[in-house]
Amino acid sequence: MKTSEKHKILGALGIQPENAGASTGNKWLRSKGNKLPSYSPVDGKLIASVLATDSHTYNQVIESAHRAFLAWRMWPAPKRGEVVRQIGEALRKHKEPLAKLVSYEMGKSYQEGLGEVQEMIDICDFAVGLSRQLYGLTMHSERPQHRMYEQWHPLGITGIITAFNFPVAVWSWNAMIAWVCGNSCVWKPSEKTPLCSLACQHIIQQVFSANQVPEGVSCIINGGAEAGQWLAADERVPLVSATGSVRMGKAVGAVVAARLGRALLELGGNNAIIITEHANLDLAIRAAVFGAVGTAGQRCTTTRRLIVHHKVYGTVKKKLKKAYSQLRIGNPLDPSNHVGPLIDKQAVENYLQALKEIRAAGGRFVAEGGVLQGKGYESGCYVQPAIAEVKNEWPIVQQETFAPILYLIKYETLEEAIALQNGVKQGLSSAIMTNHVQEMEAFLSHAGSDCGIANVNIGTSGAEIGGAFGGEKETGGGRESGSDAWKAYMRRQTNTINYGNTLPLAQGIKFDV
C-alpha cells in the first residue's frame, strides 16, 4: 500500500498512534510502556506503532471503567440500546476505510474485511432489539399471597481479549451485548493488530460524546500477554471473555477460576465437513474450498478436515485439486485475489513445520504447499494452500494448525464418519453435505456432531450473528453473539415478594415463636 493511501485510511479513521495505547473513551492515556509496532503481512511494512499499557495506566483504566459502570447501569436499557444503534450507523459510514485497515493490518481479503465490519453492524442491530428483551421469568409461589420472579442485572466490567484473525468483529460481539446489558468494557486487542482497536475507539468516541455516555464505558489496553494476564487476575473484572488458542484459554480460565470469576472462552477448532455419497458435490467443493482457504486458513471455524465417503472420494479429490489450481494468491486488497498472507513469519514457520510432520507421518499431498517468493510476496508471509491425505488419529491432524492445510480422510459408514468428526479434542464447528434426510438427522441427533455448531449443506465457516457462537470440549464451552448469549454478561437474581400479613415458610415448615 502506498504511503499516501495508508495515511488517508488512518486519517479517515482518526488514528493518531503516537499518542495511543490505552484509552478510557474520550481520553487517551500516556503510558510508559514500550512501543508496539504493527507490521502489515501484505507488504511487510511498518504501518505505525502504539504504546503498550503499563501497570499504572492499566489501573487508571480499570478505575475509570468501574466508575462508569456505576453510572451506566442506571441508564434504562433501551436508552443504552439507542447509543448502540448510533454506533451501528457510525460503522456504516466508516465501513470501507475500516475494512481496508482490517485487510491491510491482518491480511484477510478486502471482501472479508467488509464482511467483518458488516458483522459489527449486524450485532449492533441485534443488540438494539435485545435492549428491550432482557427478559426474566415469573413463577407461582407455593406460599399464599407471595409472588416470585427472576430478573437480570449487569455484572460490572467485562474484560475482552481478542485474537488477530477477527480484529474488530469479535470485540463487537462482546461489547455491544455487554453495553446494552449495562456493563462497561475493557478491551485487550491482539498485539498483532493494535491499530484496528484505535480505529474502533475513535468511532465509538464520537457517538459516546454526542450522547454524554460516562467516560470509561469503552476502554482499551493495548499490549502483549502481560495485559491479558492483568485482566484475568483482576478481581474488579467479574467476566473475562477470551478468544484465542487453547493454550491461552487454559491459562486465562485457570487464573479467572482461581478467583471464582467468570470466563467466557472461545478457543481453537479442528473443524470437519462430512461429504456423503448423497451430497451435491459442486456445492460441497465450494463450501470446502472457502472453508479451508478463507482468511488463509486463519479462522477458528476454518475447515481443517474433509471426511469423504469412499464412493465419491476419488471424484472429490480430483475436483479439489482442480479448484486449488485456480486459486489466486496475493495482495488481499486486490479483489481478483482469493487468498492473502498469513499474519507473520512465525505463522509461516508453524505452517512449514506442519507440512514436515505430515510427510514424516506418511501423508500424501494432493496439493503441495510451500512459501511463495518473488514479486508481490516480499513480506515472506504468503503460502500455497495444501491438501494432504492423512489418518485422523495422527498427532498433526489432531491439533489445530492456523494455516491453509486441508486433510482428506476416507470413510465407509456414516457412523464411522461421525466418529471421525468427533474424534478430536476440539468441538467448535462441523458440517455434513448430503441430500439424504436420514443422514442429516443422524448428524444433528444426540449421537451426531459433538460441536457447538453443526451445519447441513453449508460449510463450517461464516456463522451469522443471530445464533449463539462457540463450541465444546477444548473450544471452551463459551457462547458469544446471538440467541441468549447475553445471559453470560449478567447476573441472575430470584425475587420473592410477600404481600400478605402472615409469614408462611416454604416446604410447610412450622416455626412459631
Beta carbons of 29 and 60 less than 8 angstroms apart: yes
d(CA 245, CA 6): 30
Is 266 a known active-site residue?
A: yes
d(CA 380, CA 370): 11
Is 300 a known active-site residue?
A: yes
Tally the C-alpha atoms within 13 A of residue 354's C-alpha that lie toward its C-beta. Answer: 30
Alpha carbon dihedral 166, 479, 396, 318, in 10-degree steps, equals: -70
Q: How far is CA 123 from CA 13, 112, 260, 431, 462, in A?
A: 20, 16, 29, 24, 14
* Helix pair 95-106, 77-93: axis angle to 10 deg: 70
Catalytic residue selected from 300, 381, 400, 480: 300
Nine cell digits for residue 109: 481479503
Contacts of 440 (CB under 8 A, 6+ apart): 432, 434, 456
d(CA 284, CA 48): 41
CA 466-469-470 angle, to 5 degrees, is 170
Strand, coil or helix: what is 75? Answer: coil
Catalytic residue selected from 116, 119, 191, 266: 266
Distance of CA 22 to the CA centre of its chain: 22
CB-count exposure of residue 138 (10 Å: 0-12, 13-18, 19+): exposed
Catalytic residues: 266, 300
